[in-house]
Structure 1
Amino acid sequence: MIQGLETRVAPNSLDAEVAVLGAVLLDNDTLAVLTDVTPEMFYRESHRRIWQAMKNIESRGGDNPIDLVTLSEELRTRGQLDEIGGATYLIGLSESVPTAVYAEYYARILKEKHALRQLIHNSGRIMQMAYESELPVDEIQDRAQQLIYDVTSQETVEADSADGEQAVGLFMEWLEGNKGQPFATGLKDVDEMLGGGLYPESLIVLGAPPRVGKSTFALNVADRIAESYKDEYDALYFAMEMSADEITSRRVAARARVDFQRLRAYKQDPKNNPLTEQDWTRISKALETIRQVPLTIYDRPGMSYNYIASKARAHMRKRGKKLSLVVVDYLQIMDFSAFSKAGSNESSEIGKTANAFKRLARELQCPIMVVSSLSRDVEKRPNHRPMLSDLRASGDIEYAAKEIFFLYRDEIYNPDTDQQGIAEFIIGKQRNGPVGVVKLQFHGAQMRFNSLATGN
C-alpha cells in the first residue's frame, strides 16, 4: 500500500453534485438530458438517494412534477427524508443554482470524479491480485487490463445517440465517405453476395463440420484482407489449435500453390528433397509477401475473451492503426471462466462470449470472425449441410451474430460425388442481405479456397 493513500479522500466534487440536483429542481427537463447519470456517480450517499428518488418520480410518467413537495414525499415514503437532511436540505438544493443551463457541464465533472474513483477501486483489486499471486501472471495482466478498460471505455450519451439532424449527417457521411466500407474477401462471388465483403462492427460466425476446412477458409480470408488493406489496417488471428509456424506454413502453401504435404516431407527429410526448383521460386516469393502483410498471429491454447480483447486493444495502441479483421479460431475451446458462474453451463457461457465479441466488434470498428464447431446432429442427418440450429448455443449465437456462414463439401460424405474439389459457402444469416449458397474451389493439398470463376 502506498504510504498515506488509505487516509486520502476519494476524488469528488460536492459542488458539482449539488449543482446537478439543484438544476433538476429548477427545470425537470434536465433529467431527459442527463440520461447517463446514475446514482453511483454521486460521492455523497444522500445525493445518491435524492437522485434515485428523482428518477423514481420520472419513471412514473404522467404530469408528476419533481419539486420540493413530491421529492420530500418520495423520500419520506422510503424512510430516507431525515437521512438526507430533511426538507431543509432540499430547499437549499433548489436555491443553490441560479440556472439549469450548465447542468451538462456539472454532470461531466461528476462523471469524471466517478471515473477516478473507479480507477482507484479497480487499481486496488489489481494490487490485491498481484499480492496474492494465486493466478498466473498473464491472467492477472489480462484481468488488470479489463478492469482498467471497464472504466476508460464508459461512453457518454453524446457518443451513442443521435437526434434527427445528427442522424442525417451520419447517413450522408456513410453514403459518401469511407466509413462503413466493407473489406473484400478476395472471393468474387462471395463478396457479391455479401454486398462487397465483411463489414466493420460485425460479428461473423463461421461454422462447419470437421475436415471441411473452416480454419483454412478463415486463414485465407484473413491473409487476403490483411494484404489488400495493409496501408491503413492490420489484421489479427487468434489460434488455439495451431502454432504460428504451422499457420505460416499453411499460408506459404496457399500463396505458393505448393502441396502442403510436400512441405512437411521436406521438413522431415530435407535430403530427399520433394520440392522442385519452381516450387522454391514460388515459396521465396510467398515468403517475401508474407513478410510485408500485417497479419499478426497469436497462438495459445484456451485463450479467454479478456485476453483476446486486451491484445487487440494493445495492438491498436502500439501500431496506431485500425484493424481490418480479427479471427478467433475457435469458439468452443476458449477459456470461459470469465463468464462462468455457479449453475451456468457451456451453452450459456458460449452465448455470453458471443455477445461480448459482438460488443468488441463495435468498439474496435472492425469485423470479428469467430470460427465455431457444430453439434453432432449434422452428422446424423441424411443431408449433412449445416443449418443454424447446428450451432452449439445456437440461439444466443444467432442473436449476437450479424452474419452466420457455413461450409460444406459433399466429397467428404459422398466419395463418388461429381462435386470433387467443390465447397459450398452457405450464408445462413445476413442481417442486411440475402441468404444463399456460393460454390468455391477447394484445393485441400494447397490449403486454399478460390472463386470458381477466376481461380483466385
Structure 2
Amino acid sequence: MAEILRIAESASEPGTQALPQNIEAEAALLGALMIDNRLVEDVQLKLQPHHFFEPLHGRIYESILRLTDKNMIANPVTLKPLFDADEAMKEVGGPSYLAQLTGSGAAVIGARDFAAQIYDLALLRALVGVGRDLVESALDTSEEVAPLAQIEQAETELYKVAEEGGAEGRAKSFGEAALASIRNAEAALNRGGGLTGITTGFQGLNGRIGGLQRSDLIIVAGRPGMGKSALATNMAFAAAERFMQDQSDGIDAKASAGAPVAIFSLEMSAEQLVTRVLSEQAQVTAEQIRTGNIAKQEFASFARTADRLHSLPLYIDDTPGLTIAALRTRARRLKRQKGIGMVVVDYLQLLQGTGRGGASENRVQEISEISRGLKQLAKELDVPVIGLSQLSRAVEQREDKRPQLADLRESGSIEQDADIVMFIYREEYYVASRKPAEDHPDFMAWQEQMERAYGRAELIVAKNRHGATGKEPLRFQGRYTKFSDPADEDRLPEMRS
C-alpha cells in the first residue's frame, strides 16, 4: 500500500494547511466496490466522482459506475485498459495499483461508512472554498466594490453547499404517499370548501384548484390593463390576512390556510403596493390617498385600516432589475428569517437571467431559465410561487380576446414548467376601448354591452396539473383595484355548473 501512502503524503505538503480529506478511506471504498459491485447501488445516489479528493480516485470511481451501469463487472482486470495511458496511474505504479486497492477484503464491511465520510469531507472542502472566495473578493478593491452583491453571491454559494448536503433523494413507498394524501384530505375537511393549500381569497377558485399548493408554480397571465398585479396582490393579502387571523385564534401555523407572503415587485414600489392594499381594505381610492383629496371620515378609515394591518405578514422587495439567482437568494433568506409560505413575482419578464450575454443573449433561453428557476424555487422552499406574465400581442389580433396558452410571451417553457396557468380576461376593458360618440347610431348598443360587461372578470384556468380546467367568474372594482367573488346571480350561466 506504499502508493496509497505516497498519495496521502503528497496531499499534505509541508507549509500548507491541508484540506479536509481521507485518502485511505477513498482507497478502501474503491477496493470494496471492486470486490463487491453490489455496493455501488448503496453509494452512487449520493456519492459523485467530484467528491473524491484525489482526482485519480475520482476517475476510478467514475469508471466503476460506468461499467456497472452497462451490467459489466468492474474489477482490476476490466478497469485496467481504461487506465493504461493515465499519467497519474503511472506515477503510482501503473494499473497494478487497482489490484492493490482490493488488498483488504475487510473494507467491504465499512464501505457505506467510508462513502459517508468521503461525502462529508467533500462538503467541508466546498465550504472552505466558499470562505476563501469570500475573503479574496472582500479584500480585492481593485474594481468597483459592491458589498451587497458579494453578500448575495456568498449566500447563493453557501446555499448550494447546504442544498447538496440535504437529505438523500429516495423513492417513497405507496404507503408513505397515501398517508400524505390522507393528511391533505383531512386538512381540506377541517378547513372547509375543499381547501387543501393556501387560500386564494376566492371561494370559486379555491373549490376548483383546492387552493395554492406547496411546491407549485402558478402563472397568472394577461394583457396590460387586465389587472394581473391587482389579482396577485389580492391573493397575497388574503393569504397573509388568513395567517394572521389563524395565529390570533391559536391555530398552529402548519394547520393554517394562510401563510406569510413575500412579494418581489419589479414594476411597482413597495409604497404603491401597500397603498393598493390599504385602498382596497379602507374603500378609499388610491387617487384620493395620493392627492390628499380625502374627507376626514375617509382618512380616519384609512388610518384605522393601516393600524389594523400593521402586523400583516406581507413582505415586499421592490429591488429593480433582479436576476433569478438574486431573487432565489433573497427568497431563501426570507424563508429562513420570516418563515414565508408563499412567493409572488411581479412580473416574470422583468427578471434577468444569470447569463452575461446582455441584449445579445437569446431571450427565449433566458425566459426558460427564469421559469425553470421559479419552479425550482417552489420545490426548494416547498411553497407556492405565483409568477405574473405578460401575453403576446397575438391576443389583440383575434376577434375573441380571451387568452390561450399559445399566447404566453417569449417561451413555451413557461407553460411547461407551470403547474397551473391562469389568464385574466375583462371584456369591459375591450368594450370601453370601442366607445362610439354619443350621437353615433351604435351608441345605445354599446351602452347595453358595457352594462353587461361592467365589473365582470373571468379567471380562465387553462392548465391545472392537479385537476380540471375551466373558467371562474370574478367581480372587479376598478376604483379600488379589487377582485372578489361575484354574487350567485351575477355568475355567468356557463360558470354555474
- Same fold at TM > 0.5: yes
- 1:199 pairs with 199, 213, 223, which one? 213
Structure 2 partner of 1:366 = 383
Unmatched runs of 5 consecutive residues or more in structure 1? 267-272
The correspondence for 1:96, drawn from 88, 93, 104, is: 104
Match of 1:274 in 2: 294
| TM-aligned CA distance change 1:179 to 1:10, over 3 Å | farther
- The amino acid across from 1:204 in the alignment is I
- Equivalenced residues, count: 436
Measured at CA, do residues 96 and 216 of structure 1 come closer, stay the same or move farther in structure 2, by a change above 3 Å? same
The 2-side partners of 1:136 and 1:240 are apart by: 21
Counterpart CA distance in 2 for 1:309 and 1:252 is 28
1:38 equivalent in structure 2: 48
Letter in 1 for 2:54: R
Give the whole-Å Cα distance in 1 for the aligned partners of 2:267 and 2:153: 23
Equivalence for 1:189: 204
Counterpart for residue 478 of structure 2:
444
Aligned counterpart, 2:453: 419
Structure 1 counterpart of 2:287: 261
Question: Can you list the C-alpha shifts for 1:9-66, whole angstroms capped at 9, x where unaligned?
Answer: 22111122122212212211111121232111111122012112112212323xx211
CA contact (8 A) 1:348 1:393 kept: no
For 2:22, the equivalent position in structure 1 comes to 13
2:176 aligned residue: 169
What letter matches 1:140 in structure 2? Q
Contact 1:129 1:140 in 2 (8 A): yes
**2:58 is aligned with what amino acid?**
R
1:340 deviation in Å?
4.2
Check whether the contact 1:37–1:111 (CA below 8 A) recurs between aligned residues: yes
Picking from 141, 149, 161, the partner of 2:159 is 149
CA contact (8 A) 1:19 1:97 kept: no
In 1, are the aligned partners of 2:351 and 2:370 still within 8 Å (CA)?
no
Shift, 1:296, TM fit: 0.7
SS at match of 1:429: strand
Whichever residue aligns with residue 295 of structure 2, its letter is: L
CA distance in 2: counterparts of 1:324 and 1:198, whole angstroms: 10
Question: Match for 1:241 among 253, 260, 267?
Answer: 267
Structure 2 counterparts to residues 356-395 of structure 1, below 5 A: 356-395=373-412
Aligned to 1:339: 355
* Kept in 1: contact 2:352–2:370 (CA 8 A): no
Distance 1:341 1:53, change over 3 A: farther
| Other structure's SS at 2:310 match | helix
Say if 1:47 and 1:84, in contact at 8 Å, map to a contact too: no
- CA drift of 1:328 comes to 0.8
Q: Give the superposition deviation at 1:138.
A: 2.2
Residue 433 of structure 1: CA displacement?
1.0
User: Aligned AA for 1:66?
Assistant: A
Counterpart in the other structure of 2:317: 298
Q: Does structure 1 residue 138 correspond to structure 2 residue 148?
A: yes
For residues 5 and 327 of structure 1, the distance between their equivalents in structure 2, rounded to whole angstroms, comes to 53
Alpha-carbon deviation of 1:260? 2.2
> Contact conserved, 2:197 with 2:213, CA < 8 A, in 1?
yes
Change (3 A) 1:179 1:42: farther
Moved more, 142-151 or 438-447: 142-151
Q: Which residue of structure 2 aligns with residue 269 of structure 1?
A: none
Residue deviations 1:322-364 (CA, integer Å, cap 9, x gap): x22100111111232x134486311111110110111111111
Please, which of 14, 26, 37 is the counterpart of residue 28 of structure 1?
A: 37
- Against the structure 1 CA distance between its residues 79 and 141, is the aligned structure 2 distance closer, same or farther, given a 3 Å change threshold? closer
Tell me the secondary structure at the aligned position of residue 29 of structure 1. helix
Q: 1:150 deviation in Å?
A: 1.4
Tell me how far 1:248 sits from its aligned partner: 0.9
Match of 2:62 among 42, 52, 58: 52
* Contact 1:229 1:324 survives alignment (8 Å): no
Q: Which amino acid aligns with 1:58?
A: T
CA contact 1:388–1:394 (8 Å) conserved in 2: no
Where relative contact order (Cα < 8 A, 6+ residues apart) is larger, the structure is 1
1:119 counterpart residue number: 127
CA drift at 1:252: 0.4
Kindly report the root-mean-square deviation, in angstroms, between the aligned alpha carbons of the 2 structures.
2.5
Q: Is the 8 A contact 1:26 1:99 kept in 2?
A: no
| Residue 326 (structure 1) aligns with | 343
Structure 2 length as normaliser, TM-score?
0.82
Q: Post-superposition shift, 1:6?
A: 8.3
SS of the residue aligned with 2:275? helix
* 1:77, distance to aligned residue in structure 2 (A): 7.2
Provide the secondary structure at the position in 1 that maps to 2:345. strand
Q: Cα gap change, 1:86/1:173 in structure 2, threshold over 3 Å: closer, same or farther? A: same
* Structure 2 alignment gaps of length 5 or more: 1-12, 189-195, 248-252, 254-258, 433-445, 491-497
TM-superposed deviation, 1:386 = 1.4
- 1:81-101 CA distance string (max 9 Å, x none): 535543432222112341534
Cα distance between partner residues in 1 of 2:422 and 2:38: 47
